[in-house]
Amino acid sequence: MAEHAEKNTLETTIANLTDEREDGTDNTQPDSAYTPVFSKQVRTVVYVLGLIASCVGLGFMTFGDAAVGGYISTVAGFIASGLGVAYNPLRNA
């Protein structure tokens, strides 16, 4: 194996990342740095409406026009993800 390849193995990279995390020298921000743009109530409403729209889209795909149902489901997902809404039961904020 070439000399330059020996120094940059996967194990070395993982060890370096682990060391940085343990030292606190990694560049991740603390959890308190995350501030949601929307309140919990707005995120919940957007999530529930997106879920309902996805179910309506599934109904269209199953019993009606598949193209319309696919469009409804896709747009519902885009709107929810665009607003930063995701189901995450472990999220604190």
Tell me the whole-structure pTM to 2 decimals: 0.55
pLDDT in tens, 67-90: 999 999 999 988 888 887 766 666
From the CB of residue 86, how many other CB atoms can be counted at a distance below 10 Å?
A: 11
Per-residue pLDDT at 38: 79
Q: What's the rounded mean pLDDT across residues 17-37? A: 61
Tell me how far apart the alpha carbons of residues 81 and 84 are, in angstroms, rounded to a whole number: 5
Query: Per residue in 11-50, is it b (16+ CB within 10 Å) or e — as a string?
Result: eeeeeeeeeeeeeeeeeeeeeeeeeeeeeeeebeebeeeb
